[in-house]
Amino acid sequence: MHFLKISLAVVAVLAAQVAGQSSNSTNIYANYNYCQGISPIAHKTYAPIKGAKLHKVQVMMRHGDRTPSYVLPGDHTDYDICSQPAEFNFMANNQNSKIASTQSPFLRSNILVSDENLFAPTYWRGNCEVGQLTNKGSQQTKEVGQTLRAIYVDELKFLSSTLDPDDLYVRNTYVWRTKESAERFLDGFYPLKHRPHGVDASVITLNTYPQSIETLIMNPGACERLAILYEGFFKTPTYLNYYKSNYALMTKVNTILGVTNVPTYNTTMNGDAVMPRYCNKLPLGCSTTDPSQCLTAQEVVQAMTESTFMYSAVLRYESTAEEVKRLSVGPFLKTLSSSIRATTSALTKKQRHGTKRVRPFELYSAHDQSLDQVLSVIAEKLTPWPAYASTVIFETWETAAKKLVIRVLYEGKVVPANPNLKCTLDACPLDVFLDFVESYVPTDITAECSA
Ligand SMILES: *[C@@H]1O[C@H](CO)[C@@H](O)[C@H](O)[C@H]1NC(C)=O
Ligand SMILES: *[C@@H]1O[C@H](CO)[C@@H](O)[C@H](O)[C@H]1NC(C)=O
């Protein structure tokens, strides 16, 4: 709950926001499930814009299913669900993309939780680090790659069947699970048989910003003013009312978990600590003092849902929300829009000189908060919290009438737009879209971030 605790891991947390709280959102998010995001499906839920030509695709993907971001005292859950992701590490030299004789081309890491380790009793069981991508998460993100391959490679022929690494720009956060999620996405997007022979032609670069200057998630460490605004949110009526109305649920969950008197754990609902049990069909947990008292699925989902509020609400409620958005997601919106502009301006040159496309496909492998903060700007207020392996997809099209438009898909469907955007996101005029998102980009970040 405290700002300083907002390590990425904690941000990435959270929960099953009840699908659509406004009546109209309810329908389009009816199949929402925190444990499994939805991507568009070729020939089923996905259709190209009729008569239009696709120029660019930017995919933001939340990592797949993961373990809790912290170990609750007394949590002895057997998380034996992390053996797979560790098997997918490939290495290439930074300079020339060749595997040098001094490098190991394939390796495997293994998280060991064994009784030989004297500290092991304070940790859960199994083979998982905190906040690690699980086998399920690994499979989920691979499936996103396969699903999008069916659209952008097979159906639209927008990308070549055999990998051309120049067509892909990939970025992940510095966190292990988003890197692995990117790796697994690419495994589904360009399976081995669709990669050219020879290391030179088949290496994909995973770009990562240093943690202290990461822009894919809210970065209060880099922006002091943002830290102050965020802290301040916890003193607002919006937050205090939320806390009060969820106090009974929090007490109940924490009583069963046995942490009602454990400082730092007893002021949050611990949705993050228990939701992975639910998503992986593990025992949800019973009180050690009264074994007849057990967590129900409904309580777990509710605790998770409510937990997301502290991350989504600061961008949506109270008078500071607009400024929070600017300082939080502005830096990433700059990246997103600059890249679209680079693609479209190359288009006019290309017509003249036939030059190569500029970053036709981008993947941003990130966190729930990454997707949510972008949605807080462009979408209707009550979008559900980004589920595991969910995607927000930006497509830049040129219509039959030669107009450039942006389409945005979330949970496999066109996102209902923020009314201030003054367009619909099935085909928003490019200039309208870019002008709007760029209005959130700080023009003097040093001044705006100073306390
Ligand atoms: C739902 O959509 C209708 C029109 O389709 C609109 O009049 C109404 O205001 C919308 N309700 C909400 C809560 O957005
Ligand atoms: C958390 O535990 C501390 C220490 O036992 C206690 O003083 C505090 O009142 C508890 N807070 C809540 C919200 O239960």
Tell me the per-residue pLDDT of 290-320, one tens digit each, with 9 for 90 and over. Answer: 999 999 999 999 999 999 998 999 999 999 9
DSSP string over 346-370: HHHHHHHH-PPPS--EEEEEE-HHH
In a domain, 400, yes or no: yes
pTM of the model: 0.90
- Residue 57 is inside which H or E element, if any? strand 53-62
Integer Cα distance of 50 and 65 in angstroms? 35
| C-alpha of residue 295 to centroid of ligand 1, in Å | 37
Q: How far is the CA of 371 from the centre of ligand 1 (A)?
A: 24
Is 50 part of a structural domain of the chain? yes
> Which numbered ligand comes closest to the C-alpha of 246?
2
What tokens does 323 get?
A: 């400024």
Instruction: Specify the amino acid at residue 117.
Output: N
CA-CA distance, 351 to 371, in Å (whole number)? 34
24 CA → ligand 1 middle, Å: 6
Q: Which of 3-12, 91-100, 300-309 has the highest mean pLDDT?
A: 300-309
CA of 274 to the centre of ligand 2 (A): 20
Q: C-alpha angle with apex 113: 108 to 118, nearest 5 degrees?
A: 135
Number of structural domains in the chain: 1
- Residue 349: what pLDDT? 72
Which residues pair with residue 61 across a beta bridge? 365, 391
Any atom of ligand 1 within 6 Å of the Cβ of 27 = no
Between 26 and 248, the higher pLDDT residue: 248
Confidence at residue 3, expressed as pLDDT on a 0 to 100 scale: 33
Question: Is 385 among the domain residues?
Answer: yes
**Residue nearest atom 4 of ligand 2, based on CA coordinates:** 261
Judge whether 179 lies within some domain: yes
358: pLDDT strictly greater than 90:
yes
- DSSP label at 84? T
Q: Among candidates 372, 381, 370, which has minimal Cα distance to 420? A: 381
Would you say residue 340 lies in a domain? yes
**Does ligand 1 lie within 6 Å of residue 23's CB atom?**
yes
> Going by CA atoms, what residue is nearest to atom 11 of ligand 1?
24
Q: What is the CATH number of the domain that holds 409?
A: 3.40.50.1240
Q: Is the pLDDT of residue 13 over 70?
A: no
Which of 201-210, 373-382, 405-414, 434-443 is least confident?
A: 201-210
Residue nearest atom 9 of ligand 2, based on CA coordinates: 261
Q: Alpha helices of 42-197 — where are they, by DSSP H?
A: 135-149, 176-189
Segments forming the whole domain that contains residue 338 = 3-70+131-220+317-449
Residue whose structure tokens are 């939805």? 38
Q: Which of 119, 112, 61 is nearest to 86 (CA)?
A: 112
Separation between Cα atoms, residue 394 and residue 438, nearest integer Å: 15
Query: Distance (Å, rounded) from C-alpha 61 to C-alpha 368?
Result: 8
Neighbours of 48 (CB within 10 A): 15
CA of 259 from ligand 2 middle (Å) equals 9
| 327 is a domain residue | yes
In-domain check, residue 142: yes
Residue 184 lies in a domain: yes
Q: What is the mean pLDDT of residues 250-278?
A: 94
